[in-house]
Chain A
Amino acid sequence: MDGDAFLEWLRREGRIVIVGASLAGLRAAEVLRAEGFSGSLTMIGDEPYEPYDRPPLSKAVLLGKASPQHTELPRRREIDAKWRLGVAATGLDLAAKRVRLADGDEVEYDRLLIATGVRARPWPKESEAQLDGVFVLRTRDDAAGLHRRLKASPRRVFVIGAGFTGSEIASACREQGVAVTVAERAGAPLVGALGGVVGAVAAELHRENGVDLRTGVMVTALEGDSSGRVRAAHLSDGTVVETDVVIVSLGATRNTEWLAGSGLGAGPRGIACDAGCRAFDFRGIVTDDIFVAGDVARSPHPLFNYQFLSLEHWGNAVTQAEVAAHNMISASAERQPHMWVPAFWSSQFGVNIKSVGVPSLGEQIMITQGSLAERRFIGVYGYQGRVIAAVSFDNTRWLEFYQRLIESGAPFPVEFPTVDRRPEGRQPVPADFPDPSLPSHGPTVTLSGYSPADRRLVFTPGRH
């Protein structure tokens, strides 16, 4: 069969398997059908639920404004899929083109999309993690359980890690009048993602809203009572905080363990793929039949020195899934690159935070509009003399402009005048990111790898 004939056959009666039944998996399935794929489609998901939306889980759901059972993702179209829900994929046989499932079943594919995403990083001490009242927040079940606890008027909630999720949880607690302590290893909340200058504003937000924010400390132990319920958290500064609920919010772990030994280029940092979403095998050779999308993918981005970016962003999951799906059933000349400019948002303490680009690459930051003190501003990040990212606090409507500056590699510092420029915004200052080698909750954007043109390319195959 020549290429064209194969493609035609694939589109007509091929077998496509999607591992991961969340946002990326669903959107990919919809695009496959929308583009005329009429073969068999299998959706495999380890959770027992049809695809649902996660951003509300740390916001509206915790506030009781939305039920955790009712955050299903809206369907754009029928996908006519075989659903294998509540069954995790446990292995992949590249040569036989088969996915192994936890129940012993095997599913054959002609094209495979891996969209297994990430899971919450658990508290490292297992016995403490199992105490009643210790939570992570990633799934619908996590949110339902946590919401029940928050409703039961806990004396105090203790959040470990002041990244975006941890901060949103703290915000939801305060909005309901629940006492909350947040412990953060770095000097301020959100520093991994946005740096110390913006982190200082986030710290003010926490404190003004009544959060007991402890920075520069680590949690050394969680203590339970005789009935196995958590009762206190011990901190590295020697203090002990009594609490009924602990939420471990230490970032995420990529769901790639099931691919160990498969030969695919999968590891703790995700699954490497090219800009067209095709997975690399461990030798650095791109596969032709396996595609990757969403949080679990890491792909090179030309705008950011061809570094491999892995992004835990809602919008990235959608566009990458769309590109992957299109490419899965297209001839090579028709394939599209995934060129999404990273963007994410958060809402906490009544403030809308949005970012474009890769702030954590930034060496300096400049407040080009508004003011840090008023907590309404645009901060622009510079990297090697060009604009690399921007963040807005309650000022999202300007961000599009800054996105174009990023896309066009505009020079940094920003010399031209802007409306609402304050004296503080005339000079750039160090963006103040922590040393990336220090462990923390981690930024939502992680940079790894090197330019494809760089001969020093080092690739670490899946090893756990």
Chain B
Amino acid sequence: MTQASLLRQITDYANRANPYPLYEELRKTPVLHEGDGGPYLISSYWDIESLLHDPRISSDAANLAAAGADEMGGPEATGLPPSFIRLDPPEHDRLRRIANRPFGPPHSPHKMDSMRPELAEIVSGLIDGLSGEGQIDLVDQFAYPFPVTVICRLLGVPREDEPRFRSWVDPIVAGLDPDTGREDAERQKTAQEARLQLGMYLAGLVEQRSKEPRDDMLSQLVTSHGPDGPMTTMEVLSTAVLLLIAGHETTVNLITNGMLTLLRHPEVLRRLRDEPGLAVNIVEELLRYEPPVQLVPQRTCIADIDVRGITIPKGSRIWLVLAAGNRDPERFEDPDRFDPDRRDIQHLGFGSGVHSCFGAPLARLEAQIALYELARRLDNPRLVEDPPPYRRNAVLRGPRHLNIAIDGVRPR
């Protein structure tokens, strides 16, 4: 294979189980442009970190569409307006501030802490359900249902509707996969339709909540009384679609990647059982070592910018390969080692800058509780196959199934 096909190799499903050698190759050309109007791939830690704070980099869907042939399509071209992840300030900031009011400081500083008992109870219930089995699929039986239940409760989406919204979420997420090899136009069209469908489904809930507000985020978004006022109905729908999807599609991978990594490092799994406090650092190291969002492919530059002496022309698309930066030896000592005691650990797993992960505090808490409880209660867990089968997606990367043999489940 030649250098020119590195991007294709990264998006190629055949390399999903272990893309890290490709990222190492990629870092040898820290600003990689394979021509043909393709994106500029940025793979070194410091460059990514600096571009995430660079006001010449735009996340605006309109700029991205103008940048031409887009593997990501324009999922927001019809129907719903773009959500804040695909907007620049000041619109991004306004929507994110409104969304943040019921979710985090300064207005809701205790929200995360107050969810802790509820999260622990959901986790315990799911693990109880694994007893009596000799082999489990961690994804279907735990890592998926847990964050879905959490985000449903947080937003106020009925949990029993999961089969319905899943049929829309799957094509939307597939639309986020920059797999250049697959029939692109059709995939994007399906994704757009699904997004509209999901929006319409949520519109029904939003209408209910605007009449009868409850203690959930959908209600809080429509009735927000902050200085920025409430969102428009369309903005609420875009935001709700974003939060519903981002609220579980990434966490499922964080938990599954986490358990997979722990099973590959049984000594760490054993330590975690006796040291619940270790979960905090383990999750941070996981976000570095196996980040659930591998790359950010939705940025363009609105000016010529210079990275390592290479000029990226105005209007170019830029991919920030977070997972490559996270293993950059210029930044991290022994980067390919999973080290639960690593102290210097400012990873790119949640991005950085104004678009840094909105749900990060929730994802952290979910993963910490989940991994500790799994470590504590699963009796003698072993990987059944390594590597496990992966999901197609190159951006939201994680196992589709994680089959684990267990001798039983310890009591709560």
Contact = CB atoms under 8 A, between A and B. Distances in A.
Interface in B76-112: 88-90, 93, 106
A401 B302 contact: no
Given A398-B55, A398-B354, A419 B89 contact: yes
User: Which of B55, B106, B356 has the largest count of A CB atoms less than 10 A from its CB?
Assistant: B55
B93 A417 contact: no
Interface string B346-375: 000000111010000000000000000000
Contacts of B352: 397
A369 interface: yes
Contacts, number: 49
A204 to B, nearest CB: 14
Interface in A380-401: 397-401
Nearest to A416: B303
Contacts of A401: 50, 53-55
B56 interface: yes
Interface in A405-448: 416-420
A401 B307 CA distance: 13
Contacts of B89: 369-370, 419-420
Interface string B133-175: 0000000000000000000000000000000000000000000
Contacts of A399: 53
Interface residues of chain B: helix, strand, loop or mixed (majority)? loop
Contacts of A370: 89-90
Contact of A397 (B57, B304, B353): B353
A174 interface: no
Contact of B88 (A350, A400, A416, A419): A419
A418 B304 CA distance: 11
Given A370-B89, A417-B303, A400 B55 contact: no
Nearest to B63: A419
B55 A368 contact: yes
Contact of A369 (B55, B57, B304): B55
B58 interface: yes
B303 A419 contact: no
B66 to A, nearest CB: 14
Nearest to B354: A397
Given A370-B90, A419-B88, A400 B53 contact: yes
B55 A418 contact: yes
A401 B93 CA distance: 18
B353 to A, nearest CB: 5
Given A397-B354, A400-B50, A401-B50, A416 B56 contact: yes
Interface of B: 50, 53-58, 60, 88-90, 93, 106, 302-304, 352-354, 356
9 contacts: A368-B55, A374-B90, A398-B53, A398-B55, A404-B50, A418-B56, A419-B89, A420-B55, A420-B89
What 7 A-B pairs are tightest by C-beta distance, nearest first?
A: A418-B55, A420-B89, A416-B303, A419-B88, A400-B53, A401-B53, A397-B354
